[in-house]
A and B are shown apart, each in its own frame.
Chain A
Amino acid sequence: MSATRRSRIIRFLFFRFVVSIPVLLGIIFLTFMLIRIGGQDPVAMIAGPVADSAMLSAIRSQLQLDQPLLKQFLNYVLLVSQGDLGVSWQGGKPVLSEIKQLFPATLELVFLSVGLAALVGVPIGMRSALKPNGWFDQLTRFCSLAGFSMPTYWLGLMAIFVFFYLLRWAPAPMGRLGVDVVAPTFVTGSVLIDCLLEGNWSALNSAMSHLALPVLCFALLAAAPIIKQTRAIMLEIVGSDYVRYARANGFSQKTIEKIALRNAAGPLLTFLGSELTSLLAAAALIEYIFSLSGLGQWGLNAILLGDFAVVQGYVLTLALCSMLIFMVIDLLVLMLEPRN
């Protein structure tokens, strides 16, 4: 790696870091204001139906909700910059420790699903781009559009009906482990990895059977846009001037494919990154259906209950994570760029 290239990468990272700060602040501000102008009154929910107005205002001032919005916001930003995300009003637990508990489970689900979807989707997309409008292309195009149109939660429900109720292949969609196995101690937070580390085979077996259905459903839905995008990227490249030039020069099909692949890697990675981030949020629905008790299910509940600190922590985690993903992907693309 040449010195100019390294300095370019450092400059890129620095630039991205600087740009991400206002975006992050914007996200915090947006979440903060959205849930506060909201219809739900968390104070009434905490106090319960029998509370009188004196009690309500006492709770309100204890939660510092009686202060001006801007002051509340500045306080929150100050706390976040010190690494304190506040306390959940429903469970009373610190938000940060909850996130550490729950986020690995969501990451496990999303990475397994996207990995599986990419492994299946990318080759299919490439194959269908080789002969556009051939029978294989028409078939995959239709299937991917159908997958694109299917609601996640509905597919999950139907899968539960078929594989749990009818066939009895899958365990009941209640959590990440069966009730009959000993849960592994918390090390990484990913059940599969924790079981492997401990050598807890019965729990590993149970965890795998509990994860199989959600991961398959999720991967099926994730594969649809991947196939579509891979096809579009490959079509663009196959029709490009440099591929035509290479072909005119008499390069072998294999060499041409190598050139095409190298050029496809950048846009493909970028797309996979955006796919990953959108699925991190969509995971909430799959977790809700299968009661996987991950970050998404927790955040979803918090939104419905008006648990401000949790919603803020949830959105902040997702935003940070997606920024990190975009940054890593852009860096990879920069390094793969054939032109330098």
Chain B
Amino acid sequence: MLTKKDSSAIVNCVNYSLGISRRSPTFAVGLLIVVLFLMLALMADVLSPYSPTQSFSYKVLNHPGDQFLFGSDGNGMDVFSRVLHGCRYAFGISIPAGLIMITIGVPLGLVAGYKGGLVDEVLLRILDVLRSFPTIILALAVVAAMGQSLTSMVLVIGVLDSPIFARVVRAEVLALRSSSFVMAAIAMGNPAWRIMFVHILPNAILGVTAQLPMRMAWAVRISATLAFIGVGIQAPTPEWGAMIRQGAEFVITGEWWVALFPGIALMILVLGFNLLGDGLSDLLDPRRRSVGK
């Protein structure tokens, strides 16, 4: 039996989330998609009818149908089970990569923006190099160099993308540096690290929050692209990019399902992350706050 207090809390909670989803439907839809995929990833073992690497050697390239919901691939493996297990790889790459991006990029941007000088100059030049350097080629070369493993892929993606966070934080810090609360903190005799991390960081973190889902989307995409080219994760592993690579050779002879389903899953998850980021920047931007009402 719910007490009155409990139920009003629930009503408040529901109202609040309704309000958010009315203010930014993109955010709500994005969150829904990402949470759904997270659940699929967690329950992949329970939901999938077969093991993702179990091979039915007499049932190669079966049409989608009764036994195999999404058909079977060139090795006679169930595409549906493999797509489900692919969710695990997507999150297994994007979550740690996102953490790496933040732990490297945010302090770098703080120091560069607050201290200026040499650190700032070096950061700007690195950004210049990265801007004129094709990211995918860079990622390809580094993953090929560091050895073909999941860990190296996560590391490369995280490190490569951290300058983007540095840039976002740097821009916010530059705007905040001369504001009165920072001046007051300096006048109080706070050390520089304390001003950066305790006073400026909480005010600069909003931009990062909106950026993170977009960069995670990028991480999912680029890891799949690398696997598609044949670098990073190799074939029998149920990763979406590697599955599309397997399916590519059958497309021209009309066996579409091997490549179609992992691609759709990849697209929806990336779309979810992007919607989430888009909605977050809408919700967090005070100038646009009134537009969506």
Contact = CB atoms under 8 A, between A and B. Distances in A.
B266 A151 contact: yes
A48 interface: no
B292 A315 contact: no
A113 interface: no
Interface string B247-262: 1100111101001100
A80 to B, nearest CB: 16
A326 B145 contact: no
Interface in B87-106: none
B270 A315 contact: no
A35 B291 CA distance: 50
Interface string B120-162: 0000010011011111111011101111100000000000000
Interface stretch (B10-18, B54-62, B75-83, B271-279): B271-279
A277 B266 CA distance: 25
Contacts of B142: 34
A288 B217 CA distance: 23
Interface string B165-179: 000000000000000
A318 B137 contact: yes
B72 to A, nearest CB: 18
Interface stretch (A25-33, A49-57, A84-92, A206-214): A25-33
B125 A157 contact: no
Nearest to A173: B252
B231 interface: yes
A195 interface: no
The majority secondary structure among interface residues of chain B is helix
B205 interface: no
A148 B277 CA distance: 13
A18 to B, nearest CB: 13
B263 interface: yes
A39 B131 contact: no
A320 to B, nearest CB: 9
Given A35-B141, A165-B254, A274 B131 contact: yes
A35 B137 contact: no
Contacts of B145: 34-35, 37-39
Interface stretch (A3-11, A69-77, A93-101, A299-307): A299-307
A23 B244 contact: no
Contact of A151 (B133, B138, B231, B263): B263
A271 interface: no
Contacts of B134: 277-278, 280-282, 315, 318
B271 A149 contact: yes
A299 B141 CA distance: 11
A145 B266 CA distance: 14
A164 B274 contact: no
A53 B251 CA distance: 43
A27 to B, nearest CB: 6
Interface residues of A, number: 58
A303 B141 contact: yes
A39 B267 contact: no
B215 interface: no
A335 B17 CA distance: 49
B contact residues, range: 35 or more
A230 interface: no
Most B CB within 10 A of own CB, among A19, A39, A164: A39
Contact of B259 (A22, A149, A154, A164): A154
B230 interface: yes
A175 B272 CA distance: 35
Nearest to A38: B145
Nearest to B244: A154
A260 to B, nearest CB: 18
A319 B253 CA distance: 38
A27 B133 contact: yes
Contacts of A114: none
Nearest to B217: A149
A166 to B, nearest CB: 8
Interface string A296-340: 000110011010000100110011001100100000000000000
Contacts of B247: 157
A-B residue pairs, 6 tightest by C-beta = A281-B134, A38-B145, A154-B263, A149-B270, A149-B271, A322-B132
Given A148-B274, A160-B251, A326-B132, 20 more contacts: A27-B133, A30-B129, A35-B145, A145-B274, A145-B278, A146-B267, A149-B270, A151-B224, A151-B241, A153-B225, A153-B248, A154-B263, A158-B263, A165-B256, A277-B134, A278-B135, A285-B136, A315-B133, A315-B137, A319-B132
6 contacts: A19-B128, A149-B267, A154-B259, A161-B251, A304-B231, A319-B133
Interface of A: 19, 22-23, 26-27, 30-31, 34-35, 37-40, 132-133, 141, 145-146, 148-154, 157-158, 160-161, 164-166, 172-173, 239, 274, 277-278, 280-282, 284-285, 288-289, 299-300, 303-304, 306, 311, 314-315, 318-319, 322-323, 326
